Amino acid sequence: MMVFVTGGVRSGKSSWAERFCIERAKQKMSPVHYVATSAIVDSEMEQRILLHQKRRVQSGIEWKTIEQQQHIREVTAHLTGDEIVLIDCLTNLVNNEMFADMRTYEQIEYQDELIRSIAKELHEIDQASDTLVIVSNELAFDTNRFPMVHSFIRVLNKLHQHLVHHSTLSVMMEAGIPIWKKGVWHERIDDSRDGF
């Protein structure tokens, strides 16, 4: 099962996705893997990562963390078929892959191949696990004048369309509230908040 969770910055998407994984793991008695795609680039990012780590430690579930900033298919080497896998987040993964070589990111052929490649790798993880939860950001609802940003949004939005099409469940988070875009999850998700 593939679950796609998106929303704006600080919309609550990561905490909701973590709670979904916790409830799913309790139901299935499955191990949970957290795939971290972010690099620590500044003190704000470091604080956000520490907050996420603290939340997972306090969840009562054992999480195995996999650091994978590029080449996401390598996650499959850690899987046996019964895991709940949370990738947080697709936005960072696309950034890491797309701008690894600054000479190619504007080429449409390169962008289209990147979309195909990342989509294929995510499907491989989906096939190798019980449940794959993918978190991503809604960066813009229209085009941007800067070529680099426009190219990035194009790739990310095309991937979003593909993942929503192939997902079982798709949720957009807004102010901490899940808005169901595809499918409905009838199981209870603990909505307790950690505060600010």
Cα(118)–Cα(147) distance, rounded to whole angstroms?
Answer: 21
> Which strands form 32-36's sheet, in the order they lie side by side?
63-67, 32-36, 84-88, 131-137, 2-7, 169-174, 177-182
Please pick, among 33, 52, 78, 186, the residue that the annotation labels catalytic. Answer: 52
Q: Select from 152, 136, 193 the least CA-distant residue to 8.
A: 136
186 is catalytic: no
Cα(181)–Cα(8) distance, rounded to whole angstroms?
Answer: 15
Cα(171)–Cα(177) distance, rounded to whole angstroms?
Answer: 10
Per-residue exposure over 115-129, b if at least 16 CB sit within 10 Å of its own CB, e if not: beebeebbbbbbebb
- Residues involved in catalysis: 52
